[in-house]
Structure 1
Amino acid sequence: MEQKTRVASWTVFYKKLAKNKAAMAGGIIVIFVAILAIIAPLIAPYEPTHIEMAKKLQGPSSEHWLGTDDKGRDILSRLLYGSRVSLTVGLLSTLLGAAVGILFGIIAGYYGKWIDSLIMRICDVLLAFPGILLALAIVSVLGASTTNVIIAVAFFAVPTFARIVRGSTLSVKKLEYIDAIRAMGSNDFRIIFKHILPNIVSPIIVQATLYIASAIITASALSFLGLGTQPPTPEWGTMLAQGRSYIAQAPHLTLFPGLVILIVVIGFNLFGDGLRDALDPKTKK
């Protein structure tokens, strides 16, 4: 019976999502880019770090579909390999930030009192700073590297997830069945992770999907400023930074990385908006 209920719920969810054409388009973009990132070593026409100075700054051609950069490296190959770095940073930073934010948010919402006040005031302080500024400060202290970018971007995600989870926890813990479970002798750990957390997954999934887009932009911005992934590792923000010196002579160096970032971010945002509508119980079936 429980399994049939779950299948019915997923069916309703898919039907609501499928009605949103923009969300489906965003989902297709996300899945397509993820597949390209996974199979990049198999489909990339050249090694992304292979230098051939005799072919530098060439425009798109049959040999190099998207042209070459200032060191003669194939731009298409670097974009394909760069998708692995950008998506990895976006996913890992979101997962890390969500994990910490969920923990703090559910503790604040469940226990309340001074614990709630302390956690929320810390979140308010962090949210007072623009995300890119906070990430810049953290990376400047830790040093420029992909790992430190993940930590910096995840750090800013924590207060956002904490506030969302806290609000959802406050709503769920007031339900009568939670009081009944507590009266039956269930401890706090069981109540939180078996009964409250599963009921607040929807807003977490939506926020995570939307935050991946922000994480990709922030990571690309840090790399553009020289504080993220370091050359010769291909990364979209780094490619933009390297191409800005040749924007008049070879505009394709910045055009294609910029378009890829734009398309991927739009894809995640469209898909995230669709998930929010599909998971909203107030939305008509």
Structure 2
Amino acid sequence: MPETTIHQPVEKPRNPHIENFKNIVKRLKKNKAAMVGGFLILLFVITAFVGPYLVPFSAGEQVLVNKLQGPSAEHWFGTDHLGRDIFSRIIHGMSITLYIGFFSVVIGAIVGVIFGIISGYFGGKIDTLIMRAMDILLAFPGILLALGVVTILGPSLNNVIIAVGIFSVPSFARIVRGSTLSVKELEYIDAVRALGASDFRIIVRHVLPNVFSPIIVQATLRIATAILTAAGLSFLGLGAQPPKPEWGAMLSDGRNYIFDAGHVALFPGLAIVIVVLAFNIFGDGLRDALDPKMKS
């Protein structure tokens, strides 16, 4: 009687990177607050791109006879002292706010990661020199450091991005340095070095991917700080200049009418609070998802 051969299905090898990503998403989904923050961030990004084309008024349209009107069916958030629709200006200003937050953090992250990896990997005098420079920057309160940079460079939107980026550098540098010190002591790094890999190759191919998670978390949290700092600078008249509908500048205009027409300052202030809160709670959830051991 002929033997019957049963062929067992061969399982395809699982990609550890894909599996790790699925686990991160699964842990992130369990955090309801983080999911709400992520949904709000997605909503803000979509609104920044398509919102200006949907609102009924342009950002600079002035109708002086309608100035300081309260919220109504025509003007959802009311009008400001020049008769401009506040809701339309907030929607137009969302792209400016996200632009400042994103690009200032990109600048701070790129410079900070480079300094942090060099400091942690090579150590010695280079480490001491870089870290003392970071300590000097950290000795200044963030808003004060940004204020000094903008004062030197002059008030403008791009200078605000540079200023916020500069004061974001030390936080990235310190986090990346700490992670690099841990990664470079791993056995497989010694093995790669023994095989003749250059320092540049080790840093790019082996160290940087292992310190990427804390960089992402720090960047998400730092965007909230960058938005808040940029709004503070605009509130002082050193950020985006009129007639750009930047939320900090709108808040500054509204303080003159806070008792007579409180809505002029209320709605830009609420917009800043909601955006900053969304990035903060999403960043906290992302940190817990990427490294559950860090969860308190």
The TM tier, using the shorter chain, reads over 0.9
Please give the residue correspondences for 1:121-270 in structure 2 after superposition, counting only pairs within 5 Å.
Answer: 121-270=132-281
Name the Cα RMSD after superposition.
Answer: 1.2
TM-score by length of 2: 0.94
Paired positions, count: 284
Q: Which structure ranks higher in relative contact order (CA pairs < 8 Å, sequence separation ≥ 6)?
A: 1
String of CA shifts for 1:79-118, please: whole Å, max 9, x gaps.
0011111110000000000000000000000000000000
The aligned residue for residue 289 of structure 2 is 278
How far apart are the structure 2 equivalents of 1:273 and 1:82? 26
Distance 1:53 1:13, change over 3 A: same
Choose which of 102, 116, 132 in structure 1 pairs with 2:127: 116
Please give the residue correspondences for 1:53-64 in structure 2 after superposition, counting only pairs within 5 Å.
Answer: 53-64=64-75
- Alignment-mate amino acid for residue 239 of structure 2: G
Choose which of 27, 33, 36 in structure 1 pairs with 2:44: 33
For structure 1, the 5+ residue unaligned runs are none
Larger radius of gyration: 2
- Alignment-mate amino acid for residue 213 of structure 1: A
How far apart are the structure 2 equivalents of 1:164 and 1:7? 25
String of CA shifts for 1:11-55, please: whole Å, max 9, x gaps.
110110011111111111111111111112221211101111111
How far apart are the structure 1 equivalents of 2:202 and 2:187? 13
TM-score by length of 1: 0.97
What displacement does 1:64 show?
0.9
CA contact (8 A) 2:104 2:162 kept: yes
CA contact (8 A) 2:220 2:280 kept: yes
Match status 1:15 vs 2:6? no
The aligned residue for residue 5 of structure 2 is none
How far apart are the structure 2 equivalents of 1:3 and 1:193? 25
Indicate the SS of the match to 2:73. coil
- The percentage of aligned residue pairs carrying the same residue is 60
Distance 1:50 1:113, change over 3 A: same
How far apart are the structure 2 equivalents of 1:160 and 1:247? 36
Structure 1 stretches of 4+ moved >6 Å: none
How far apart are the structure 2 equivalents of 1:121 and 1:236? 35
String of CA shifts for 1:208-238, please: whole Å, max 9, x gaps.
0000000000000000000000010000000
CA contact (8 A) 2:176 2:211 kept: yes
How far apart are the structure 1 equivalents of 2:47 and 2:14? 34
How far apart are the structure 2 equivalents of 1:5 and 1:170? 24
How far apart are the structure 1 equivalents of 2:151 and 2:69? 35
How far apart are the structure 1 equivalents of 2:238 and 2:13? 50
What displacement does 1:155 show?
0.2
For structure 2, the 5+ residue unaligned runs are 1-11
